[in-house]
Structure 1
């Protein structure tokens, strides 16, 4: 889009005034809904009896104060960075002037190819917007470089300053504002501003959804329903307790592996990430490979479960599931998969079982699982004493961590994709979000029991006690991960922002059994949920397991496509014995209800 030199010509004639009736109805609706939102929000604050948070609940101010102090001790370096920034800026001014004279100079700076904020052609074709784009990118680089090269900061402070600097830089992107986004300006001209009225209505709807707090809608929720068009693999709930339902899936093969397969998902999110649609369902695929698949579906806890701890999740999760599987199938020997926090629980359970000489689990698979939290990635930004105390105060008043608070934390790790892109689409362009099963799941958040979550954050993230022999005790048993001797398959993902792969790789140096480590391309979700038929995302394999993850990667072999078939070959090699297919409910456990069960349908906002 090239801006017209004469505002009285084509640009003026293409601008349409908004319909007065639409404006009148919208503003009346805005006034009524806005007043109701504010009134309801204030009432809830009084009813909750919650004290207002402190002026800096995230403890950001002290981190930036320390950074500023350190910068002032080396003014020469700061001056050098400023000189470089102004030299680049001067070059940009000169290039823009040359463009206006008809030349085509090379850009001073370009965004990464993965950055979708500037995909509209006008960001490059129009010299004004090209200047705005490059000016922003230069400023963003200056800020982040200054922060990242500040000497003398401890690792935690440096990480926090870097993270929140990038949050600020992302928020200030010209793509997030009406007057500096060419796509939004074009839509405003085309609709006579009705896109902004619609965007205002969308904003109010999101405030209503969040009961006074902004809860951005990422997808069209009306297009999905759990058990109807997502999480539809046939099966039965065969066991239930206070913390979980156990689902047994209907076989699709005449014979199955003798060993059942138990999947323990994280309870930070719901299990159906592994069963979104038939075409990308790991659960359905595993059933088709001849496994008798059982999946733990965790409860969405409320204040009644506030005192449930990590040891309760172990007893009422893996241990209860193993007992139920034996009743349902007659089999003691089981293969188990743990995903993310479910994998951390699986490792704790294995160490506990080793101490108890319980040998029912015969092989263990870990998907993107943190055990050594020394370098926990950007989630570590939220783990310090001040923030933990603030979080515990909130949880102790309610008995749980709100699902929306957990979701916001994860969304901040990918703010441009999971926050700002929807601000532009929903509020500035006035569009409805696109129906997307993955984003529906992402928005279907879960709560965390206060006692369990405090233990997890303090003992694992903050103190890193799990990797210390005897550092953590569950149900009266000190845990030692070094004594786990099972065949183990560890899957990590190269672009994981939740469980960084080099941190998850450290598990290869902990276990005593034979280990296969596989690294998938993409991230925490897409790298795992990658069906072979999709033909996406490669993976790396390597037989040697040196202590240094970079050394492993250097010697690894990249293979095209999904890692799923590699895992199937590995799990089949553990025990090839077959038995006739098992029908849910045919054993000693009668079906309680159809899959996906009742617990998964409880939403955090219910």
Structure 2
């Protein structure tokens, strides 16, 4: 199963590899050289741009004048504040001197954003990196992060006689112990796979060295004839799609007459270092598809992929179209990119220097660890994932919020070194898939060969797969595309069952061969529908399916013993 292809699997000399791996360990897996080059590029070009410096001087004077005007206004109201921000929305922040402190901080943020943007001659990647670094550094000095400059914390401390600070200190110590031990400080979980989440009934109908395939038991006496095969991302456990019963997309589909199969990827260890993208395609997706065809013979299959699982499914669909394989009835791509030229802020961590550093570290360890991935995503959403926790749990002393989605998010997985290197280089760095260079079985595939109907979902606040990037499939593939833009982020936008508060979506279909509509124009012209997008997808699947029939046997005609869902791979740490 494990194939040896030297392409894009860099194996540096032993000494160089050891040095780079040591650098990665000391820098939190971030390339300091890449950051230094970006800073030099920005600073050098700013130094020879007198017009930009004059513009920044004028901006600083304007901001100072606005703040002085606000200070001198005896009847200033919240609506008179120069800058509004959700971090300082509470009424406590509108009192002196806290209003001046947080306004000065926000104006400083504005100035540095202007200083790191639109500097003549700076490479875009370097400009984005400097802008991101400036925001991260400024976030550290927000007045909301400190006891004496946060009026909400001071008020609560007075009301509780300082008990919140004692509780916060205990929360902090528990987290520090967990960090040192590389495990949760509190091992008790409220949502256990197989007990509280991932409990939709089913059987493991295939297990190999890379994945388990789960077939879910039918909920009624009739099902649509075409089965649905779900391919989740291998950088996380599949049960985000099968959380609590009221929150499970898989259960929702099963209860509405679909025969659902889902891949559960193995959590790789150092011994799996040489697993590559071809292994995930062949022993993962294709092995699953072959098993679905055996259990439900004579029927085409609806394919659905989430995140990188959707990218893998798109690769497989293009190869099948190229080779005349007609087994797919439709494609559903959930927050999945096929063009990686603009991956959003995730692209800040993807350049030659950064990838080479990761490759050296993975060459030693064999995998990319959960903590490394978590740290990268934490930086992308530093306020939501870091500073709000500092304020809430350490200063306010409030207990950590607990939900099935949050516990799933903490149940992280690793990635094999070879595969991680290949997808970073071939998909993100070189963008081979969208440009027709990505090889399957030694021949490149083209997304333009796909002719099956596509249901494409993007989320408004996606920090992993920005919806503008997801939308690009419209000019890469001539097939019929139904695009849905949903509220929420990369995870919460997908896990959005009926009845979920404040859910809404936009949806429009471009017919096969239809004219291209730019994404912002699409968003401006497409009406908003309140509620969950799940019923719209289920209706779309039903429209592309035949008349209901008797459900297939679990496992088909095989008589061998099958384990119950959710299987064993989901339990691996």
Distance 2:283 2:251 in 1: 25
2:262 counterpart SS class: strand
- Would you say the 8 A contact 1:235–1:247 is kept in 2? yes
2:79 counterpart of 1:110: no
Distance 1:98 1:555 in 2: 42
The answer for the alignment partner of 1:170 in structure 2 is 139
TM-score by length of 1: 0.85
Measure how far apart 1:405 and its partner are: 0.7
Distance 2:224 2:344 in 1: 38
Distance 2:245 2:133 in 1: 39
2:173 counterpart of 1:204: yes
Measure how far apart 1:106 and its partner are: 5.2
- Would you say the 8 A contact 1:383–1:457 is kept in 2? yes
1:378 counterpart SS class: helix
Measure how far apart 1:96 and its partner are: 3.2
The answer for the alignment partner of 1:480 in structure 2 is 446
Distance 1:232 1:81 in 2: 57
Distance 2:141 2:184 in 1: 18
The answer for the alignment partner of 1:7 in structure 2 is none
The answer for the alignment partner of 2:486 in structure 1 is 520
- Would you say the 8 A contact 1:517–1:542 is kept in 2? yes
- Would you say the 8 A contact 1:535–1:562 is kept in 2? no
- Would you say the 8 A contact 2:66–2:82 is kept in 1? no
2:402 counterpart of 1:402: no
The answer for the alignment partner of 1:88 in structure 2 is 63
For residue 433 of structure 1, the aligned residue among 400, 411, 433 is 400
Higher mean C-alpha deviation, range 476-485 or range 250-259:
476-485
The answer for the alignment partner of 1:3 in structure 2 is none
Distance 1:597 1:586 in 2: 18
Q: Which runs of 5+ in 2 are unaligned?
A: 1-18
Distance 1:105 1:119 in 2: 9
For residue 557 of structure 1, the aligned residue among 507, 510, 527 is 527
1:517 counterpart SS class: strand
Distance 1:278 1:266 in 2: 21
Measure how far apart 1:454 and its partner are: 0.2
Measure how far apart 1:573 and its partner are: 1.6
1:424 counterpart SS class: helix
Distance 2:493 2:78 in 1: 39
1:96–1:198 Cα change, 3 Å:
same
The answer for the alignment partner of 2:194 in structure 1 is 227
2:102 counterpart of 1:127: no
The answer for the alignment partner of 1:333 in structure 2 is 300
TM-score by length of 2: 0.89
| CA radius of gyration, larger in | 1
Within 5 A, what are the aligned runs for 1:424-573? 424-469=391-436, 471-534=437-500, 536-544=502-510, 545-573=515-543
1:537–1:253 Cα change, 3 Å:
same
For residue 22 of structure 2, the aligned residue among 48, 51, 67 is 51
The answer for the alignment partner of 1:391 in structure 2 is 358
Distance 1:425 1:583 in 2: 50
Measure how far apart 1:303 and its partner are: 0.7
Within 5 A, what are the aligned runs for 1:12-161? 51-53=22-24, 57-58=31-32, 59-99=34-74, 104=77, 107-112=80-85, 115=86, 117-124=87-94, 126-161=95-130
1:233–1:561 Cα change, 3 Å:
same
Task: Encode CA deviations 1:317-349: one digit per residue, 9 max, x unaligned.
Answer: 111111222333334421110111001100111
- Would you say the 8 A contact 1:355–1:477 is kept in 2? no
- Would you say the 8 A contact 2:52–2:119 is kept in 1? no
Measure how far apart 1:308 and its partner are: 0.5
1:103–1:447 Cα change, 3 Å:
closer
For residue 217 of structure 2, the aligned residue among 233, 250, 262 is 250
Measure how far apart 1:205 and its partner are: 2.4
- Would you say the 8 A contact 1:96–1:127 is kept in 2? no
Distance 1:397 1:103 in 2: 59
For residue 251 of structure 2, the aligned residue among 284, 309, 321 is 284
Higher mean C-alpha deviation, range 546-555 or range 251-260:
546-555
Q: Which runs of 5+ in 1 are unaligned?
A: 1-47
Measure how far apart 1:575 and its partner are: 2.2
- Would you say the 8 A contact 2:214–2:566 is kept in 1? yes
- Would you say the 8 A contact 2:457–2:484 is kept in 1? yes
Measure how far apart 1:103 and its partner are: 6.1
1:177–1:412 Cα change, 3 Å:
same
Measure how far apart 1:460 and its partner are: 0.9
Distance 1:259 1:356 in 2: 22
Measure how far apart 1:602 and its partner are: 1.5
2:456 counterpart SS class: strand
1:220–1:165 Cα change, 3 Å:
farther
Number of residue pairs the alignment of both structures matches:
548
Task: Encode CA deviations 1:418-454: one digit per residue, 9 max, x unaligned.
Answer: 1111122222233321212221111111101000010
Cα RMSD, aligned residues only: 2.5
The answer for the alignment partner of 1:322 in structure 2 is 289
2:400 counterpart SS class: coil
2:568 counterpart of 1:598: yes
1:52–1:498 Cα change, 3 Å:
closer
